[in-house]
Amino acid sequence: LALALLNQPQILICDETTASLDKENASKIISILEELKNNTALVCITHDLNLVNSLADEILMLEKNSSNLYSLDEFLRYYNA
39 neighbors 46 (Cβ within 8 angstroms): no
Domain 2-79 maps to which CATH number in 3.30.420.10, 3.40.50.300, 3.30.70.380, 2.70.150.10? Answer: 3.40.50.300
Question: What pLDDT does residue 49 have?
Answer: 85
* Cα 60 to Cα 19, 54, 67, distances in angstroms: 19, 16, 7
Question: What pLDDT does residue 81 have?
Answer: 58
Question: What pLDDT does residue 66 have?
Answer: 93
33 neighbors 17 (Cβ within 8 angstroms): yes
Domain boundaries, the chain: 2-79
Question: What pLDDT does residue 13 have?
Answer: 94
67 neighbors 38 (Cβ within 8 angstroms): no
Q: What is the mean pLDDT of each run of 10 residues along the chain (81 residues)?
A: 84 93 93 91 90 91 91 86 58
